[in-house]
Structure 1
Amino acid sequence: MIKKHALIGLLMAITLLGGLPIISLAAPAPAQLAQGQNLLRNGGFEGLSCGAGSAPGFCNDNWTHDAHDGSIHGNIFTPQGWVSWWRKGGDYGQPEIKTIPNVVPFIGPPARINSGNYATLVFTFFRNHDAGFYQVVTGLQPGATVQLTAYAHGRSCDQDGEAKTCGDPYNLSFQVGIEPNGLADPFSPSVVWSPEQYSPDTYRQIGPVTAQVGASGNVVVYLRSKTKWAYKHLDAYWDDASLVLTAAGEPQAAPTSTPAPAPATSTPGGPTSTPAPSPTPRPDGAVVYTVKAGDTLGAIALEFDTTVEQLRALNNIGENNLIVVGQELVISGTAQQPAATATPLPEAPTAAPTESTPEPGTETQPTAEPAAPTEPAGGTPSTTTGASICVLAYHDRDSDTFWQSETEELLPNAEIVLANASGVLDRYTSDGISEPYCFTGLAAGAYRVIQNPPPGYLVSGSAEWPAALADGTQLELQFGNSRSDAAGNSNENEAAEPAPEDDTGTGSGGRSVLAKVGGTAIKVGGILLLVLAAGVAVLFFVTRRRMV
């Protein structure tokens, strides 16, 4: 009898071990996520499961009543995979929410669906709202960089029978946000929000906003619309939300599974919070630090007894404080031209070629085809493939950072630079006539677009935008510029070019490398399951023996 039970226990252990590869593959490690892949569930609001009788291309019952406070409302139809939220109290109240199909009256004009057959609508009557949706995204690599965008437009009007905005066009604003630690609270100060944007009657990209994933490996993404005046009709439409990986986190949590490096905390000469935090002097006297996985600009400033403002000034970093793994930051010293390379790009001095030689980006530069992004006069050839970024510069007469094509003319002599982590890929100088100009044939991955304003102008909004592209997508960026009081002061607000000095800027440049599959998580999971299986077998054997 004992032998029989022992055999049964052994068979159970073998069964568990045999299923181990399947279990490991069913829960892929975060490192398997590819740059450019949309990490959101139902980002286009088309639905996850459809009710019976759905017509081809449509999805009946593709909504829930999920709300942030757990309440159930008959006028809340939340898109599947998302949770509705809204501010309560004061001038704000609960909105109505619908998942709308591409049928009358939503066909337009103006069109209420950006792509596909569904979008979502948040609206109130004679009541302000501060509301939207959130979604929890799990299983990310801590230290990875993610970027969120969505498309939205609004209608704000006090009149019936008018489908377009008829009141203040800036009454309804849009934002996207990321909470990097997995906290589902839209009012938390830890949410990183994009600037407020306005998009009356026409879909426009909202964001991007970028954040580094916290230690939990989870983030929460937010879509938000907010009103100022309680007009009769306050309608906010959302479509095509996308969260993409722009930089994979390095598996630096692995030292916990390798005891040898663990006691080597005294080996690094600098702070103990990172494996190799000592800043390195360059030939020009500037002291630089290489960003590691999990670093933030605030933590680096604290580590080296400086300020975030100082680091941003030395490295020409935008208001989003975006840094990426492998980036060299100037900590102290006169930045001058080298300071421009303290963006997610290699340094221009002599140290840069030796560090950037093995990088994938520099390997692709010699084989880049110069004609691909630079030859077309209009920048929009139909024969190219891949993703594209279309840009223009305009005179922002009212300094509201929103382009009004009827009254705000295009500007010539604005230099727009396209770059990625390996350097400058292309440059374009606007002529004020043929824009938007499109950088085409781009590989999926992370890019940066920087504008140097025309002489006599200052940048009215952001001079630098991070951009994450999925294959086949097109991103539109508009750079606003206002007249400077003195032409001599215009250089103070120009965006510094983040390029190596000898970069020719031709061709489609370095291609983004897909995140490499990490085996550490699978190995650890296998060991744990092996121990669990052995424990179950022993427990089963001992229990049965006692019963006998």
Structure 2
Amino acid sequence: MKMRFVFFASLFVIILLLLGLSLPSGAVVAAPQPQGFATSTPGPDGRIIYIVKEGDTCSQVALLHGIAVTQLRQFNTRLDENCTLTPGQQLIVGLSVSSLPTAGPATAPPTPTATLTPVSGTTEVCILLFNDANGDALRQETEFGIDGGAVSLTNVNGSYSKTENTTSAVDPDTLEPVRACFVDVPQGDYNISMAVPDDYNPTMAVSYKLTVKAGDRASIDFGAQSKTVTVSDPAATEGSGRSPLLGIFGLLLLLGGAGLGYYAYRSSQPTSKLKGSPLDKR
């Protein structure tokens, strides 16, 4: 009986030792730091630019930035049908919803204004990027649309997001610029972001917050001016307007000076002593 007790006690000790050896050590190994992807920074015009690297494809770029390939094509209309990429190529991969920063006490750029028109049973948002030739942030009748821009409409809660391209087309019936329209838009609060073409500068803020209700139709205008447009200097124009008067005044002074010089010359000449004598009459 005693031998059985010793046998089972020894067996229990051996089992405990085996279990202790099989347990993992108590040292805690820190988890490796997650490797993140470098994100692109929005430019001053609101566009988020990605520089293509060797071996990149449209699918990889779209997946990296959380967008669809179709949306990547909408942002970059110059991509060919095979979506061919070259190293160093700049791609627009998104639009920033934040407004342009203002430095110090400088005046903020004009904010686009929305015009709401009741439309029964639909919610529609139409955007126009117009050529602000004179840079006054107000659309004139002779200022039409611009090709190559991209505008996005995004719900603040992320439930809706679409992108459209701007156009310079004109409606033949109304002779008004054709707008980029988002149809069947659910009511709610939205952020609108505009990316102007590379050869234009925005004359207004490139982002706008909009609230739409079912049955409304919102029309919003954004302005951009070509970088090749030169604006005349008002000071130079005013100076050129006064120059003829100054020229006439200078000419009169010159003639007056010449007359005084001639008079002084005649006065300095000696009087002839033969004047009035018989020899003078000869």
- Same fold, TM exceeding 0.5? no
**Greater strand share, 1 or 2?**
1
State TM-score, norm by structure 2.
Answer: 0.37
Which structure: greater helix fraction? 2
Q: Is the radius of gyration larger for structure 1 or structure 2?
A: 2
